[in-house]
């Protein structure tokens, strides 16, 4: 532990940190890093959080007890917290409005796992379209008499609709066009038509109109108030008959009941689902009973390379802030003036605008 009284104090919980995170902070020399276990007595955890400047917070909502989420009650109890730094791209454990009121900057590690997630989405698209889940299970059960019953489709020259053309969505678009000559269409209200064109896609202002033209639909946007429940029954109804839906973003963006209905009716040919409302999903969840659905437990971004990269860029972002720079992945930029005041009061230097 760094005993420098002017060190920026960082705390993280049980979730494993890659050595690259600790290596970067140790090399800088301006940080004191503390690990806590979620099984520690709660009062001792809050004592430690009360002395913390940077809380490296889990992005896994169902693994982190709610008393340790980045919300008003935490900021009131731990007034020394200057920053929340998520361990990943997701930040639904953080209330950005509450953080802004408290003068707490919130940063994530968007883009750090884009390769892992994009490859996972592509793998699900291929797995479902080639009907690998169905044929695998049929082989295990035995008694196959008709191979044509497992006739699949090819991705080549198909239309791929991407909801959210950010880091992951852009990389998925690159893979689909470069490998399979796909046409890419996109729905992303945060990007202009020119920006989407530069990413090799065609912009649609209507989600319903976009999905109506797609053979494959991939969900790659963050969970924010405007996207919660966005992919509802009407969106599934608007999809092409026989389309394939893949979700590697966050739970609660699509309506799980509506997805089940679209699969049961035959509207969709299949789906690939990595994210859930409740993680892991209950064992009696109807999606778990469907052979034409490829499932994973929110592991799209869990690769050796992604974990190493997220840890490294997360630490580098903290070094930037400690050195007085504005972080590149600031989620609540309106907090910056108040954060500057709070940072200056602690470290006697003011971060740049």
Catalytic amino acids? Answer: 250, 279, 298
Distances in Å between the alpha carbon of 327 and those of 19, 111, 323, 337? 22, 14, 10, 13
User: What does the radius of gyration of the chain's CA atoms come to, in whole angstroms?
Assistant: 22
CA 323 to chain centre: 28
State the Cα–Cα distance between residues 219 and 258, nearest whole angstrom. Answer: 15
How many C-beta atoms lie closer than 10 Å to residue 209's C-beta? Answer: 13
State the Cα–Cα distance between residues 270 and 294, nearest whole angstrom. Answer: 8
Angle in degrees, CA 267, 270, 276, rounded to 5: 105
State the Cα–Cα distance between residues 255 and 1, nearest whole angstrom. Answer: 46
Q: What are phi and psi of 11, to 5 degrees?
A: -125, 140
């Amino acid at each position: 532990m760094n005993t420098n009284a002017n060190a920026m104090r960082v705390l993280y919980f049980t979730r494993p940190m890659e050595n690259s995170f600790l290596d970067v902070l140790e090399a800088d020399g301006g940080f004191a890093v503390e690990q806590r276990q979620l099984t520690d007595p709660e009062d001792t955890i809050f004592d430690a959080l009360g002395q913390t400047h940077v809380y490296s917070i889990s992005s896994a909502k169902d693994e982190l007890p709610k008393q340790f989420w980045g919300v008003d009650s935490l900021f009131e109890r731990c007034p020394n917290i200057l920053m929340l730094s998520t361990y990943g791209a997701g930040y639904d454990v953080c209330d950005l409005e509450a953080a802004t009121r408290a003068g707490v900057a919130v940063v994530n590690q968007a883009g750090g796992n884009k390769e892992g997630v994009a490859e996972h989405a592509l793998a699900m698209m291929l797995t479902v379209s080639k009907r690998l889940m169905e044929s695998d299970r049929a082989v295990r059960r035995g008694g196959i008499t008709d191979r044509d019953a497992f006739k699949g489709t090819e991705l080549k020259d198909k239309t791929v609709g991407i909801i959210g053309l950010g880091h992951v969505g852009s990389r998925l678009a690159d893979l689909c066009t470069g490998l399979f000559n796909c046409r890419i269409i996109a729905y992303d209200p945060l990007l202009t038509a020119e920006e989407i064109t530069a990413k090799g896609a065609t912009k649609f202002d209507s989600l319903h109109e976009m999905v109506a033209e797609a053979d494959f639909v991939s969900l790659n946007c963050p969970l924010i108030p405007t996207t919660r429940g966005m992919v509802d029954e009407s969106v599934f109804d608007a999809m092409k008959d026989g389309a394939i839906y893949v979700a590697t973003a966050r739970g609660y963006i699509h309506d799980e009941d509506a997805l089940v209905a679209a699969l049961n009716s035959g509207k969709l040919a299949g789906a690939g689902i990595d994210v859930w409302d409740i993680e892991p999903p209950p064992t009696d969840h109807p999606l778990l009973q469907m052979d034409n659905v490829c499932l994973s437990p929110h592991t799209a971004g869990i690769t050796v390379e992604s974990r190493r990269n997220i840890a490294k860029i997360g630490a580098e972002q903290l070094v930037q802030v400690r050195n007085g720079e504005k972080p590149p992945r600031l989620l609540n930029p309106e907090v910056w003036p108040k954060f500057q005041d709070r940072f200056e009061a602690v470290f006697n230097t003011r971060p740049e605008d």
